[in-house]
A = this chain, B = another copy of it.
Amino acid sequence: MTLSEFDIIERYFAPLGNFRGPAVRLGPGDDCAVIMPPSNEQLCVSSDTFIEGTHFPVDAPAAMTARRTLAAALSDLAAMGSKPLAVTGALTLASVSPEWLEEFANALGNCISVWQSPLVGGNISRGEALSITWTVMGSLPQEQFISRSGATEPSDIFVSGWPGRAGLALQRRLAGQQCSKKIAQHYEAPEPRLELGQHLRGLASAMIDVSDGLLADLNHILVASDVGAEIDLSSFNFDQALVAEAGDEVLARRLTLTAGDDYELCFVAPPEHRTTIADLSKQLDLPLTKIGQTKAAKGLTFCHPPEGMLMEPLLLQSGYQHF
C-alpha cells in the first residue's frame, strides 16, 4: 500500500485536530494555525528533534515513541512554569507502516488530550531515518517565567519524582533484560511535570527539566545563575525501590545523577518556601526532594556519597551529549 503525505495526514492525523482546547481559533489544514493566547500573558516556545537510534531506541514501540518524545518536548514548558497552548509536529518517516502510524496517532491523541496540548499543525516527510520535531507553545502571566538564571544563595535545591528510574529501565531494555513495571513506567510513560511547573511560579527562582542528567542540568542552572552547590547524596535514599532493582547503591546513585531520561524538574527555591513546597508535594502526590543547597563558591561539591562511589568520573561524564 502506498500512502501519500496527504493520505497519511487525512487518515491518521487530521482526526487529532478535533481536540482544540480554549485557545485554538483555527486548527490544522490551512497555511497556519491561529491561536488566541490568554489576554496579557507571555508565550513560551521550544523546539526539539528526536531521531530514532539517537534519542529513542530503534524499533521502540510507536506508542512509546509518541509519548516519550512529546513528554520530553512539553517538559521544556513545565520547566518555565508555562501552561501548554498548542503543539506542532514534523514527522519524517523512513518507511510507511499503517500499523505503526495507527499506534503512533492513537497514543498521540491520548497524550494531547491528557496534557491539554492541542496539535495544531505540522507535516509528514519521507527521509532516511525516523525523526520527529515537536514545537511546543505555552503561556504564563507576564514576567512569571522561571529561567535557569535566577538562583541565589543560600537556597534549597529540589528535584521532583524518582530520578534514575527511567535510566535503569533504559539500561535494562538496551541489555535485553527485564525490569519491574514500577521502574519501567518511568521510561515507557514519562509524565511532563506541567502541573508542578505552574505551581512553582513565584516559589522557584530557577528551574530546568532533567533531560541530559541531573548533574549536567543542575550545572546549567549554576553557570547561568553564577552560583555553586553542595549536593547531599543521602537525600536520594528515599527511593529504596531503585536501589533494590539496581542491586547496588552506587549504580542507583550514578543513574540518579546522570541518566536524565525521567524528565523530572530540578529547581532552586529560597528557604522560606520550604513548607509551601512540602505542602505542594503532598497536594500533587509527588516527591519534591531537597537534594542540596546553593553556595557562593562556584562548582559542585558532594556530601554523604554511598560507600565506594567516586564523584570525579561522574562529573566528567555528566555532560552527556546526544550529538
Contact = CB atoms under 8 A, between A and B. Distances in A.
Interface centre among A55, A125, A207 (most CB of B within 10 A): A125
A40 B76 CA distance: 25
A116 interface: no
Interface stretch (A63-71, A82-90, A286-294): A82-90
A39 B36 contact: no
B46 A76 contact: no
- Interface range on chain A: under 10, 10 to 19, 20 to 34, or 35 or more? 35 or more
Contacts of A88: 45-47, 135
B125 A54 contact: yes
A86 B26 CA distance: 19
Q: What number of copies of this chain does the assembly contain?
A: 2
Interface stretch (A100-108, A142-150, A162-170, A268-276): A142-150
Interface stretch (A12-20, A126-134, A171-179, A277-285): A126-134
B51 A92 contact: yes
Contact of A323 (B36, B44, B124): B124
B323 A49 contact: no
Contacts of A185: none
Contacts of A25: 42, 143, 145
Contacts of A136: 32
A137 B49 CA distance: 18
